[in-house]
Amino acid sequence: MIEKTVNQRALWLILPVFILVAFSSLIPLMTIVNYSIQDIFDSNNAYYVGADWYKETLSDPRLRESLVRQFGFSASVLLIEIPLGICVALMMPKSGKWASWSLVLLAIPLLIPWNVVGTIWQIYGRADIGLLGAFLSYLGFDYNYASDPIDAWLTVLAMDVWHWTSLVALLCYSGLRAIPEAYYQAAKIDRATPWSVFRFIQLPKLKNVLVIAVLLRFMDSFMIYAEPFVLTGGGPGNSTTFLSQTLTKMAIGQFDLGPAAAFSLIYFLIVLAVSYVFFTTITQMDKRGEP
């Protein structure tokens, strides 16, 4: 029997990736950990404080309020964008020039930079010159996202739906196109209704794609910053101040580097934990064969 030797030289090819990750992620992460457990005045004066910054951050009402707003926003985003993206993907043509045009049109919002999206909706929502604001005012609605917290919240939510539903739709469309035609032929022979086709063929085949869509949209919505910052600046009051904006104000506005470092690590762990729960739950459902 001939023993095969394993050539490990190919591992050197991924060495540049490890170096890049170390400089872009690991080293900054270690720096933040260092700031979160020390009170650093300058390069020569640093005092170990242990978990004091974490205790101060966890007892800060700003964190709790921002966390509630953040979870509410992310939950709203998922409840709207996932079903809407599936519906859009189902209505898109399967082939031909209209399918190509549909893909191009869906990709347009994804190409716009985040700060530009905020600027677009800032103008779009103005009651004097904005199409949305002027139209709502014409209908008799007292709409003003700059002074009304509910209007500001709904405007930020609508902006995110407009910006990112295309991503969910494109992912679902790719999943639908990967379903073999034999499944549809069998359903046609059995005279299955469109709902039965969706329920027993399309939706189960979209599970893996939906896992990716849910994780991407949750992580991105949970770390949203540029769009609401440009649109509302976190106001009126603190109605649209999310975790990322609270962290920025703490780190840059107040220059509380220790609490801000502890805050950022807590922020990171929350995103990691919730993403893990999402992934584990959906994959376990898939293993059990649940619809």
pLDDT digits (tens, 9 = 90+) for 118-147: 899 988 888 888 888 888 888 888 888 888
Between residues 200 and 255, which one has the greater pLDDT? Answer: 200
Strand residues in 81-123 grouped as ranges (E)? none
CB 237 within 8 A of CB 149: yes
Residue 255 has pLDDT above 90, yes or no: no
Q: What would the two tokens of residue 31 be?
A: 């720096």
Between residues 31 and 5, which one has the greater pLDDT? Answer: 31
Between residues 5 and 12, which one has the greater pLDDT? Answer: 12
Average pLDDT of the residues of the chain: 84
CA distance 127 to 42: 49
CA distance 9 to 225: 43
Q: What percent of the chain has pLDDT over 70?
A: 93
Task: At 93, give phi and psi (nearest 5°).
Answer: -65, 150
CB 175 within 8 A of CB 206: yes
Crossing angle of the two packed helices 149-177 and 207-222, in degrees rounded to 10: 150
Residue 241 has pLDDT above 70, yes or no: yes
In the beta sheet, which residues pair with residue 45? 42
CA distance 271 to 8: 35
Distance, first Cα to last Cα, the chain: 47
Contacts of 278 by beta carbon, 8 Å cutoff, 6+ apart: 211, 214, 215, 218
pLDDT per residue over 34-85, tens digit each?
Answer: 888 888 766 677 777 788 888 888 888 888 888 889 999 999 999 999 999 9
Average pLDDT of span 9-18: 78
Average pLDDT of span 161-176: 92
Check residue 192 and report its DSSP letter: -
Considering 4-18, 24-38, 219-233, 246-260, the range whose residues carry the highest mean pLDDT is 219-233
pTM, whole model, 2 decimals? Answer: 0.82
Q: Which of 9-23, 140-154, 158-172 has the lowest mean pLDDT?
A: 9-23
pLDDT-based confidence at residue 286 (cuts at 50, 70, 90)? low
In terms of Cα–Cα distance, which of 230, 222, 261, 246 is closest to 114? 230
Residue 182 has pLDDT above 60, yes or no: yes
Hey, where are the domains in the chain?
61-244+282-288
CB 172 within 8 A of CB 206: yes
Q: What would the two tokens of residue 63 be?
A: 């964190």
Q: What would the two tokens of residue 259 be?
A: 């609490």
CATH ID of 61-244+282-288, from 3.40.640.10, 1.20.1250.20, 1.10.10.10, 1.10.3720.10: 1.10.3720.10
Between residues 278 and 269, which one has the greater pLDDT? Answer: 269
C-alpha distance from residue 32 to each of 5, 38, 39, 67, 212 (Å): 43, 10, 12, 20, 29
CB 213 within 8 A of CB 85: yes
Query: How much is the pLDDT for 115?
Result: 85
Residue 180 has pLDDT above 50, yes or no: yes
Residue 291 has pLDDT above 50, yes or no: no
What value, to the nearest 5°, has the Cα angle with vertex 193 and ends 187 and 195? 110
Residue 2 has pLDDT above 70, yes or no: no
Query: How much is the pLDDT for 85?
Result: 93
pLDDT per residue over 183-203, tens digit each?
Answer: 888 888 888 888 888 888 888
Please provide the DSSP assignment of 111-170 as one string.
HS-HHHHHHHHHHHT-TTT-HHHHHHHHTT----TTT-HHHHHHHHHHHHHHHHHHHHHH
CA distance 68 to 58: 14
Residue 108 has pLDDT above 80, yes or no: yes
C-alpha distance from residue 199 to each of 84, 88, 186, 245 (Å): 16, 16, 15, 41
Query: How much is the pLDDT for 87?
Result: 93
